[in-house]
Every structure is written in structure tokens, then in C-alpha cells.
Chains A and B, each alone.
Chain A
């Protein structure tokens, strides 16, 4: 099983992050093509025709999103979502650290397609190294005239600003990102209106993930036809998969969409250690409902994952092997979402909190069989009832663990309860012994 590297093709080239090396390897050639050989409509048409779907999580067609941006001369914006906070995801980090100019070129091409003249890269604050690298790369691109007024002497002008976040998962949600970029708390907004109509500063805004935008120069250079030739069905192109958890070789692997999960987890990442088996896996970051070992044989595509009841999401596979107890894992997962819930919608704010409390109760031996039913019901009340999907992102994986591994939850609860009873029994026994000893001494 080999990787199909197009985004990561030159990633091991030394000094790829400098503009000289990037240009030597053919960089900024697609931009020239988009500027001088194509009209913006043709660029948009090419992106739409490629079938490229968003790589950040929702999987919405990038070309379609760009086509929703109204024509006209109002201020339009492009936002690159580099707030890669989904647990398990680290693909954008590599792209930005090793190949920042690919992202910058993608942003410019995206802006040409959307007619935007101002763009922002919203990078998470924890990625200090990557932000520093991008800062230098942006200065280089301005220096060569790829950014700024009248790019390379054409009619297009585009400014690109790097904006550093300060640590909040919710800023990866597109409208939360916009609020954070406007200098507010990163609370998601009510949709519609969608950002394509009313986004940043109330202007039409195209928001795309780093990996999505990085695909744009390749599509412009080699054509939509070539891109559609990769992948399977509605899932065209390649995907950088971040494999982590209990595997021998965690890391980023670029695969053609449609290879099986087993090829990725066992073939590329080496599978779990000796003697251990895959208990469950998250196919698309911690927000995706878990799948079982048998699902590893499905093709890794947006459609197949959705059909199996999960999602491809950001393409982050977290493998959990059979030595890992699930209740503490579910608890840790729920704690994450409780911490990151912005608190705007009640079902998410309270639902995540109560899920944590219930799981803590179960883990400490104070659970009752009713708790599992209550917890399942709480998850059901979160899904679809909030402005954004943060609450759903906890409810779906926790709910799926409960569904697939209910017996383990029950056993864990029972064992924890007995242990607790035994402890209190022993404590009581020790107390009685002490009382007898005291009475004997007296």
C-alpha cells in the first residue's frame, strides 16, 4: 500500500518553505495561469468541476461554496481556516510548516475565483512556529509581487493577513472564526445568512480549510479532469489522513480517497502493537462517531463513512486498541467538549456538562443503570438543537460508544460500584475493629 502524494509531493524537499525553492519546483506557475490565461469564471468553473470537497470537516463542495459568493463590486473576503483544533488532526500543521507558499498561492487563486480582495489566514495561537514561518512567507510573497496591489501587473489585487488566534476550539467553526476575527468572543452565529452572503464585516466571505485551498493550485495547473480521475465517486482527489492513537507509526499519510481503512491503519500506520486489536476507531477526528474493526474494510470516502453512521470529517483517524477502557476515554472526550463549549446554546452547554458528570459518577462507582439511559437521552437532546455542531460533536461519539459498547459501560459501572462498596465496607470494618480494640484497652 503506497501513498498518493500530490499535496505532500515535495514535502521532504529541503527549504521548501522558502520562495526560491518553491518557485524552482514550479510554484506560482498555476497563479500565473489563473491570472493571465483564464478568466475568474473559468477558475471558478475549474474548481467546481473538480468536485473538490471541503477538507475541514463538513465536506461541502468548495467550488459550489465559491459560486455562492455574489458578483459585484462590494468588499468581499476570503478566510482560510487554519484553526486546526479537532483532536486527532495535524495535517494543516505540516502543510503550513513545510509548504507555506502552496497555501498562499491557494488563497490567491481562491480569492480570484470568489472575487475577494482581502483575505485572512486564521491560525490557532498554539501554532507559533507555523505562524512565524507563514509570516516570513507572506513577506516573501509581497516582495515578489504575488500579493498586494495589481498582482504581477494584472487587474487583481489581493491582501493577505495572518491572524493568530488565542486558543479556542470553537474558532474552527466558520462563524465562530468570523467573530473571533472581528475581535469578539468566538460565538457561532445563527445561520442563515451563511457567510457567503453575510460573513466577515457583513460582507460576502469564502471560508475554506488549509488543505482545501492547497488543492486549488494543483487543480488550476492540471485541470479538473485530472483531479476527478483521483478518488472514488463523489469523493474526488486525495486526502491527507492524520493517523494517531494506538498505532506503530502515527503520522500524516496522503491517500487517494477510496482506499480501505485497513490499508491506512494497518498498511501505512502499522496497526496496533503486538497482540492488540483495534477496538474502535474515529474515522474523522474526535467528533466522528466511532466505528468498529469490521468497518476497517470499507472504502475511506465521504459516502461510505456516512453510510456506516459516521463521517470522514477532517480525515483524522484515531485508533483505540483493546487494552483501552472506554469509560475514561468517553469521559476525557466529553470533558474536552465541555471545556470548549462557548456557552451560547443551552443544550450544548448543559448537555456536555451533564454528560461529564454522569460519566464521572459511573467511573467513581456511583452510577446506576438508569444513568446510561439518561445519558443516551441527553445526547439525543443535543443533536440538531444548537447553532453549531459542537454539542453534536460530543453527542455523536459518546452516543456511538454507548451504542456499540453498552456492555462494557455496564460492566465498568458494576465493577466500580462493587469496588466502592468494598472500600466503604472495609472502612466500616476497620472502624469497628478500632472500636473493639479501644474497648479492650479500656
Chain B
């Protein structure tokens, strides 16, 4: 699925032709690649073949196989899909139809690692949007590269809200001040927020976790919040339409 709001967004990297554009009617559709023509890394081939063996129908391995290819290539690039298609003996079009549906499969080179910040309902009411903004700003400031930083839908850890997932490592509850540390830890390859992740032994959501403070009822921050002063009356717009002719 396409990320909400990014329709027509400018892309940092040019995509290969035929990727996100309309089909080219003057060309034949891509057929199932001949295994002899495609060079697949042996480990990836072995992994996909093992995956296919687990199901009564080899097509069932599509999702995990694309995930495996993404780990090798960093994203579901046309080449990655061609390799999966060659091993699974399906068309690249079939794989791209699947890959574009799922959020965790990257169909653009946005980074080979990820930092998902949950901003869904339960995190939203604990000011997750501000945490995300702080993280996005920190990522830009510290020039975090090869990491996909994005808002994500509910990650299933609302008890530690607001939270984020750094390559599967769930950390929370977060405050804006954590942003720089998270970004730097990812950049330097360190463990993100040691002791504050679900996978750390003995981790418990701190009782009475600090709920990020609400912005003061400032009329400039939120129009519906607090004791908002009425603006001076705006004069009604002047009616410049010509008077209607009555027959």
C-alpha cells in the first residue's frame, strides 16, 4: 500500500523505467524469468526454496520470500524481484502486485533498515505526533542515512505508548528528548535505548510513565483548545455581483 499522503511526492532517487509508470503497451509483459539467466545469491536461493517447501502451495512463500530478498537487497528492487521470480517461477508482475500491498516491503530505495514511529490512536492521545516530529527533525539534523524513518500504524505496543520500532526493537515510552539518542544510536549501530525495550530482560512499563505534557491552552497552537479569545469581527465580504435582473 502506498503511504498516505505521499501520492506524487518528489523522490530522492530516480526509479528504473517501467517501475511506477503505466504499462508500456508496445512491449510484451515480463515473463517468468529463466533460472539460467538470473544470478541469485546462493543463500537467498536456499532460503526461498526452504520456504517454498513449508507450504502445500509454493505461492504461499511469496511474503517471506520477498522479505528475505529485501534483507539481501535492502529493498524490493526490480532485480530483487527478478531473483525471487526466478526461484519461485512466478512473474515479476505478480510479485510487484504483492510487494506494493504490504507496508513493510519497500518498493522504493528508502533505506535498508527501518525506524517506525507509531502515531496511531492510542499513541496519538499520548502526543506521539510530537515525538515523531522530533525524531524526523533529529534524523535530518544528524543525517541519518539508509534508514526508513516513517510514521507507522499501530505496532501493538500501546502499553508503552508513545513508542517506536527500530529494526524490530520496540522502545518506549518515548519523550521528545529521546529523539536525538535514538537517531544517533541507529546511526552508530548501537543498541537503541538500552533497558527501555520490550526485549530487554526485566523490562516493565514504568508505572505512571510520564505522559508527555499537553501544550498549554494556547490559541495559536490549537484552535479548539482552552480559553480561546474571539478574534475581532471580520467584516463581511463585499458582494460585488451585479444585481440580478428581475424579469
Q: B224–A165 contact, CB under 8 A?
A: no
- Cβ < 8 Å to A, chain B residues 108-155: 116, 119-122, 124-126, 152-155
Closest partner residue, chain A, to B160 (CB atom): A250
Is A371 at the interface (CB under 8 A from chain B)?
no
Using A89-B156, A129-B170, A249-B208 as known contacts, say yes or no to A182 and B60 having CB atoms under 8 A apart. Answer: yes
The CA-CA distance from A168 to B219 in the complex, in Å, is: 38
Residues of B within 8 Å of A142, CB to CB, are none
Using A329-B124, A336-B120 as known contacts, say yes or no to A183 and B62 having CB atoms under 8 A apart. Answer: yes
Q: B67–A166 contact, CB under 8 A?
A: yes
The CA-CA distance from A249 to B209 in the complex, in Å, is: 8
Is B63 at the interface (CB under 8 A from chain A)?
yes
Q: B223–A166 contact, CB under 8 A?
A: no
Q: B211–A180 contact, CB under 8 A?
A: no
Residues of B within 8 Å of A89, CB to CB, are 154, 156, 158
Q: How far is the CB of B237 from chain A (nearest CB, A)?
A: 10
Q: Which of B17-25, B31-39, B40-48, B51-59 contacts A (4 or more CB under 8 A)?
A: B51-59
Is B195 at the interface (CB under 8 A from chain A)?
no
Residue B207 contacts which of A183, A249, A339, A419 (CB distance < 8 angstroms)? A249
Residues of A within 8 Å of B98, CB to CB, are 183-185
Is A99 at the interface (CB under 8 A from chain B)?
no
Residue from the set B152, B199, B231 with the largest chain A CB neighbour count within 10 Å: B231
Q: B168–A128 contact, CB under 8 A?
A: yes
Q: How far is the CB of A393 from chain B (nearest CB, A)?
A: 12
Is B165 at the interface (CB under 8 A from chain A)?
yes
Is A324 at the interface (CB under 8 A from chain B)?
yes
The CA-CA distance from A185 to B121 in the complex, in Å, is: 25
Cβ contacts A402-434/B at 8 Å (1 or 0 each): 000000100110011011011001000000000
Closest partner residue, chain A, to B168 (CB atom): A128
Q: Which of B99-107, B177-185, B239-247 contacts A (4 or more CB under 8 A)?
A: B99-107
Residues of A within 8 Å of B105, CB to CB, are 166-167
Is A118 at the interface (CB under 8 A from chain B)?
yes
Closest partner residue, chain B, to A340 (CB atom): B153
| Category for how many chain A residues contact B | 35 or more
Q: A167–B104 contact, CB under 8 A?
A: yes
Closest partner residue, chain B, to A363 (CB atom): B223
Residues of A within 8 Å of B120, CB to CB, are 87, 286, 332, 336
Residue A244 contacts which of B63, B159, B232, B234 (CB distance < 8 angstroms)? B159
| Category for how many chain B residues contact A | 35 or more
Q: A124–B225 contact, CB under 8 A?
A: no
Is B205 at the interface (CB under 8 A from chain A)?
yes
The CA-CA distance from A42 to B61 in the complex, in Å, is: 35
Residues of B within 8 Å of A250, CB to CB, are 158-161, 205, 209
Using A183-B60, A244-B159, A365-B223 as known contacts, say yes or no to A87 and B231 having CB atoms under 8 A apart. Answer: no
Q: How far is the CB of A266 from chain B (nearest CB, A)?
A: 15
Q: B165–A126 contact, CB under 8 A?
A: yes
Cβ contacts A161-178/B at 8 Å (1 or 0 each): 101111111000000000
Residues of A within 8 Å of B198, CB to CB, are 97, 129
Using A318-B122, A419-B223 as known contacts, say yes or no to A88 and B158 having CB atoms under 8 A apart. Answer: yes
Q: B121–A332 contact, CB under 8 A?
A: yes
Residues of B within 8 Å of A411, CB to CB, are 224
Using A183-B98, A186-B101, A318-B121 as known contacts, say yes or no to A164 and B63 having CB atoms under 8 A apart. Answer: yes
The CA-CA distance from A126 to B198 in the complex, in Å, is: 13
Q: A90–B157 contact, CB under 8 A?
A: yes
Is B9 at the interface (CB under 8 A from chain A)?
no
The CA-CA distance from A408 to B223 in the complex, in Å, is: 12
Q: A242–B234 contact, CB under 8 A?
A: no
Using A201-B57, A248-B207, A421-B234 as known contacts, say yes or no to A164 and B64 having CB atoms under 8 A apart. Answer: yes
Q: How far is the CB of B121 from chain A (nearest CB, A)?
A: 5
Residues of A within 8 Å of B190, CB to CB, are none
Using A125-B104, A336-B153, A418-B230 as known contacts, say yes or no to A251 and B224 having CB atoms under 8 A apart. Answer: no
Q: How far is the CB of B223 from chain A (nearest CB, A)?
A: 4
Cβ contacts A138-180/B at 8 Å (1 or 0 each): 0000000000000000000000010111111100000000001
Q: How far is the CB of A15 from chain B (nearest CB, A)?
A: 10
- Cβ < 8 Å to A, chain B residues 58-86: 59-64, 66-67
Q: How far is the CB of A334 from chain B (nearest CB, A)?
A: 10
Q: B156–A251 contact, CB under 8 A?
A: no
Is A105 at the interface (CB under 8 A from chain B)?
no
The CA-CA distance from A327 to B161 in the complex, in Å, is: 20
Is B4 at the interface (CB under 8 A from chain A)?
yes
Residues of B within 8 Å of A245, CB to CB, are 121-122, 125-126, 158, 161
Q: A422–B214 contact, CB under 8 A?
A: no
Using A164-B67, A182-B57, A421-B234 as known contacts, say yes or no to A126 and B121 having CB atoms under 8 A apart. Answer: no
Residues of B within 8 Å of A248, CB to CB, are 207-208
Using A85-B154, A88-B154 as known contacts, say yes or no to A183 and B56 having CB atoms under 8 A apart. Answer: no
- Cβ < 8 Å to B, chain A residues 96-114: 97
Is A69 at the interface (CB under 8 A from chain B)?
no
Residue A333 contacts which of B64, B121, B155 (CB distance < 8 angstroms)? B121
The CA-CA distance from A418 to B228 in the complex, in Å, is: 11
Is A252 at the interface (CB under 8 A from chain B)?
yes
Residues of B within 8 Å of A335, CB to CB, are 4
Residue B102 contacts which of A84, A167, A333, A408 (CB distance < 8 angstroms)? A167
Q: How far is the CB of A106 from chain B (nearest CB, A)?
A: 19
Q: 7 closest Cβ contacts across the A-B interface?
A: A128-B168, A183-B62, A244-B158, A167-B103, A167-B104, A166-B102, A183-B59
9 further interface pairs, Cβ-Cβ under 8 Å (given A93-B157, A128-B168):
A125-B67, A129-B170, A164-B63, A167-B103, A183-B63, A184-B62, A327-B224, A329-B125, A419-B219
| 19 A-B contact pairs sorted by A residue (CB < 8 Å) | A87-B122, A88-B121, A89-B158, A90-B158, A92-B156, A93-B157, A129-B170, A182-B60, A185-B97, A245-B121, A245-B158, A251-B205, A332-B119, A336-B120, A336-B153, A365-B223, A415-B224, A418-B231, A422-B232
